[in-house]
Structure 1
């Protein structure tokens, strides 16, 4: 040390710099050796009661804060859409349109206008099997899971659908207004609203940086990216014959899987099963099917298509789906048969327990 101190000033400074640099380099190496490994992605899940149904939101992220922020944003978005379009909310824009039926057009948000316009396109495509004016029909059935003596009289059934007609929904694109042509008409977007809510929530979560996730809106399932372990999303399809059990499953990514069933709300007449989905043309419950599962990239479209297939029935419904590009389905008939569209790839489950899955596409109520 004295030797160092007797060096000329410039040499002492250089030596001290070298010593200091060496110490810092050693510290840097030590820090690099002890630096924690990057956080691994995890699945973050939260449930919420929205649109009168049970929703679950899953975000895949290595950032806890981002995942929870995105999930909260998704929940708020679905809740916003419900307030905007709910049939039951006295302040919603749909309620305003219904109150003015047969009187005047109602100016609605562009978002609501566009959603209604898309439902009318689906109605046209399906020949009226899907119809948002079904709410104007008279409630003449009681789906109490009991045996009934008979169906209502034919004239009562016919009268019950007199105010149902999607062709009497009048749109003005310049004013983005909506009018129901006749008094007593009512529209209800329930057949597609959950799918739209899921789609909008998913888009928002992706925009916030969530690269993988899944939203299940009471049977309306939409997923994107991969799970935290890098695998795809495994979706189980419920078995109508054995509630709470699984009939089949499939692994998907960037896809929607929507299941509708009429085996929770029904009645029987002379052993014939009648579910709660009504044919808007005839007024009678749609028959022939117990469960419909639609697979396509757009959860909103899938939400509407399952009802179309129910109304059309097994054979015609399957043929309808086979004509659509990028859409597949699997159907379970009243007599227990399973039918599938041309491109459908599903794993049928025959063992006692359900497979491990990220979500179950149970039937919508």
Structure 2
């Protein structure tokens, strides 16, 4: 029997009383911990615990495949992934799964859309920041910033045009031997979107998934077909108010980028993980931004994009797109959102 890898499966049952003909509706939730180095949560309605377990396993299995393909740190038997591509930079093309080709092509489009503010070819720069951040977290007393000259040298190897994709042969080649891919700004949201499509193709039409806060709502909830309620996290971890807003959504994604999760402190100042490609330093415009649109991959990319823009630039950029809303949380706690954002607020 296939091993069940879901670490925690929580069940609650809601029995509806809307009409004498309505059958019992069961609300189930599942949670697993390790994929994309974050917590994934699923909520859905099913006739039985067994049926929901099949659904949860479908989500897990497919998300695990995307996790392994897009992993830049670890190797997996029989899989050529992002790490394999990086390891072969300047050496040879690597034959890869179509799902990697699709992500990289999508990422090139995002690079153009964001005017370079989301660049998956920045791995050499981001790796330096990652190493200094990890050292700073593990040894706070000796935490320091990476030298700018080191970052500038690494930035010479971030030309996305040196990412060579051969769709006919399904190969990827980095022509600069010092170049590294880092798909962290896109991969989680992109994978969430693809897995939700797989679930829909398998007949699941009403569920909610959160992959490390990348929220995707499909259909509606319960026998009354209500909208899904999702909260926007307050970036101030010391506040008693855990959510800034609660939205009611269907067939939409909510993704936030912020400075309050992956960071370390140097001389009393916090340095987070979202690096501005222009300055090579963590962006300081906002504490967090949130984006709401249909596609989770796009929402993920857009949240990073506008986090790396001034408010005036970001607002104009978001307003140039169709069916996209955004919320900006400034360093002083001020909140500004797009024109139709209020339409999504829970009444």
Same structural fold, with TM-score higher than 0.5 when normalized by the shorter chain: yes
Answer yes or no: is the 8 Å Cα contact 1:233–1:251 preserved in 2: yes
Structure 1: distance between partners of 2:83 and 2:264: 30
Q: How does 1:223-262 map to 2 (within 5 A)?
A: 223-228=217-222, 229-243=224-238, 245-262=242-259
1:151 positional shift: 5.5
Hey, what does 1:39 align to over in structure 2?
23
1:206 to 178, 186, 200: 200
Hey, what does 2:128 align to over in structure 1?
139
Hey, what does 1:308 align to over in structure 2?
305
Hey, what does 2:339 align to over in structure 1?
342
Answer yes or no: is the 8 Å Cα contact 1:60–1:211 preserved in 2: no
CA change 1:312–1:46 in 2 (3 A) is same
1:99 positional shift: 1.3
Structure 2: distance between partners of 1:179 and 1:281: 25
TM-score, L = length of structure 1: 0.78
Hey, what does 1:170 align to over in structure 2?
164
In the alignment, does 2:287 pair up with 1:290? yes
User: Could you tell which deviates more after superposition, 69-78 or 38-47?
Assistant: 38-47
1:318 to 288, 299, 315: 315
In the alignment, does 2:45 pair up with 1:75? no
Answer yes or no: is the 8 Å Cα contact 2:285–2:308 preserved in 1: no
1:281 positional shift: 3.0
TM-score, L = length of structure 2: 0.82
Structure 2: distance between partners of 1:114 and 1:348: 34
Q: Which runs of 5+ in 1 are unaligned?
A: 1-35, 350-354, 356-365
Q: Which runs of 5+ in 2 are unaligned?
A: 1-19
Structure 2: distance between partners of 1:330 and 1:80: 32
In the alignment, does 2:175 pair up with 1:192? no
1:113 to 86, 98, 101: 101
Answer yes or no: is the 8 Å Cα contact 1:47–1:57 preserved in 2: yes
* Matched residues, number: 315
CA change 1:246–1:180 in 2 (3 A) is same
Answer yes or no: is the 8 Å Cα contact 1:39–1:62 preserved in 2: no
Q: Secondary structure at the match of 2:122?
A: helix
Structure 2: distance between partners of 1:348 and 1:267: 33
User: Could you tell which deviates more after superposition, 172-181 or 271-280?
Assistant: 271-280
Cα deviation code 1:62-81 (max 9, x no counterpart): 35433321121111110111
Higher Rg: 1
